[in-house]
Amino acid sequence: MNKILLFFSTYILILFIQCSRKKTSTPKEFINNVLVSDSLYKLDSYRLIKDFKNKIVERSGSFYIEEYFDSTEIFIDSIIYNPEHNKIIVFVIVRNPIYRRMYTL
């Protein structure tokens, strides 16, 4: 077990070093400079979390698999808006309690 842990730790360290050496930047045409009010951002976050919780209960959309439960936690990491504020991209983090996970480390 210790050998496996050492291997993965070394592998992750090597990846980190390689990634930190690469100096890349996002081209200007791909940078999103759309400003959104805090109230709109919070309202959309609340609505998205509520919608995702409903999808878990209904087992619809991306939450159809049996690994999601009512105790599943949903976090909105980022919401990116288009200039007209009528389209969004959402980065969502979903976490199940350890006792409900199929695979544990």
pLDDT at 40 > cutoff 90: yes
Residue 23 lies inside a defined structural domain of this protein: yes
Residues 93-102, mean pLDDT to the nearest whole number? 70
Residue 89 lies inside a defined structural domain of this protein: yes
- Cβ(32)–Cβ(77) under 8 Å? no
pLDDT at 7 > cutoff 70: no
- Give the separation between CA 75 and CA 90, rounded to whole angstroms: 10
Residue 54 lies inside a defined structural domain of this protein: yes
Q: What is the DSSP letter of 60?
A: -
Residue-wise pLDDT tens digits, 44-86 = 999 999 998 888 888 888 777 777 777 788 899 999 998 898 8
Size of the chain in residues: 105
Residue 69 lies inside a defined structural domain of this protein: yes
Residue 15 lies inside a defined structural domain of this protein: yes
CA quadruple 7, 10, 16, 22: dihedral, nearest 10: -100
Residue 28 lies inside a defined structural domain of this protein: yes
Residue 57 lies inside a defined structural domain of this protein: yes
Q: Which range of residues forms the domain containing residue 15?
A: 2-100
Per-residue model confidence (pLDDT) at position 44? 93
Give SS3 for 88. Answer: strand
Q: What is the DSSP letter of 65?
A: S
Residue 105 lies inside a defined structural domain of this protein: no
| Model pTM score | 0.63
What's the structural domain count of the chain? Answer: 1
